[in-house]
Amino acid sequence: MIVKVEIPVTRPGAQPRLDTVADEVPVAFEYNGIAHTVMLASPADLEDFALGFSLSEGIVQRRSDVYAIEVTQGAEGITLHLEIASAAFANLKQRRRSMAGRTGCGLCGVDSLAQVTRDLAPVYADDFPLAALYEGIRLLPMQQLLQQATGAAHAACRVGSDGSISHVREDVGRHNALDKTLGALARDSAPAAGALLITSRASFEMVQKAAALRYGILAAVSAPTAAAVRLADKLGLTLVGFLRDRRCTIYSHPARLQGNIH
């Protein structure tokens, strides 16, 4: 599917030219034939998006609860048709709300204040080298092909303890990018080890998504919100912000990061 387009632009003092722009399209989620929500997203890695969103939002509890994913292109956008386990679908119907999401909405399908914070168990993770996070953020821009072409995409990936990165996914929406990475990891049956890295701020729902899939470290290139810090502290998740140029700020559970002076 097309994720970037060429459009004519005008720059003061220069001749008109073509510029590369990231595409975003409406992506509708349907579960067992029932519409759930509509997102604006980059039309790539959509099977990853479907699974990652379903897991991180608590619609399904495990990969095996998703029996099938079908992607269809229509005149008005893309529809992700998911067939899920009957128990998961019964739970979804209790909270179901069809809504049009803005780019990467973080609380899709939530219609009451009581549903904002989910009942998640504390996460656990092995100690992790701080140097690996520094290496991960150094490597990630080289694989952000959509960002390089358009300047309009966020990315997410997993970082290993040796600093290697994997499951890099991009999207115009920061939540979408994380969901795609989480979905890719789940599709590969990857264990919840290492750290998650995001090229955005770390908000409450980003922490909640990471914890929902049992990841114990979330590192962002920008700032966290206070709600994100409180949730990370409560859930035992190590939250890192301002990760850049071999510097960072650790907001919760710093002892997990080896090489951190504390």
Segment 161-170 mean pLDDT: 98
- Per-residue pLDDT at 242 exceeds 70: yes
Query: What percent of the chain clears pLDDT 70, i.e. is strictly above it?
Result: 90
- pLDDT for 262 equals 46
- Per-residue pLDDT at 114 exceeds 50: no
Per DSSP, what are the bridge partners of residue 80?
Answer: 29, 71
- pLDDT for 66 equals 98
CB-based burial, 215-226: b 16+ in 10 Å, e otherwise: bbbbbbbeebbe
156/175 Cα distance (integer angstroms): 9
Average pLDDT, the chain: 92
- pLDDT for 106 equals 52
CA atoms within 13 A on the CB side of 168: 18
- pLDDT for 200 equals 96
Q: 201: which residues sit within 8 A by CB, 6+ positions away?
A: 174, 220, 222, 223, 224, 225, 241
- pLDDT for 104 equals 53
- pLDDT for 13 equals 87
**Can you give the pTM of this predicted structure?**
0.91
Which tens digit of pLDDT belongs to each residue from 9-48? 999 988 889 999 999 999 999 999 999 999 999 999 999 9
8, 34, 77, 156, 171 from 18: Cα distances, Å: 4, 41, 25, 28, 22
Would you say domain 25-115 falls under CATH 3.10.20.10? yes
Q: Would you say 203 and 214 are in contact if contact means Cβ atoms under 8 Å apart?
A: no
Segment 199-203 mean pLDDT: 97
- Per-residue pLDDT at 116 exceeds 60: no
19/4 Cα distance (integer angstroms): 10
Question: Sign of torsion, CA 170 163 197 183?
Answer: positive
Residues with catalytic function: 105
- pLDDT for 203 equals 96
148/72 Cα distance (integer angstroms): 28
**Cβ of 148: how many Cβ atoms within 10 Å?**
13
Select 128-258's CATH number: 2.60.40.10, 3.40.140.10, 3.40.50.300, 3.40.50.720. 3.40.140.10
Segment 46-57 mean pLDDT: 98
The three state secondary structure string of 4-51 is: EEEEEECCCCCCCEEEEEECCEEEEEEECCEEEEEEEECCCCHHHHHH
CA dihedral 51, 56, 61, 63 (to 10 degrees): 30
- Per-residue pLDDT at 69 exceeds 90: yes
- pLDDT for 136 equals 98
- Per-residue pLDDT at 172 exceeds 80: yes
**DSSP symbols for 160-197:** -TTS-EEEEEEESSHHHHHHHHHHHHHHTT--S-SEEE
Which tens digit of pLDDT belongs to each residue from 70-113? 999 999 999 999 999 999 999 998 876 544 444 455 555 554 44
Q: How is the chain split into domains, by residue range?
A: 25-115, 128-258
Looking at residue 115, the DSSP 8-state letter turns out to be G
- pLDDT for 118 equals 81
Segment 226-239 mean pLDDT: 98
β pairing state of 217-220 and 78-84:
unpaired
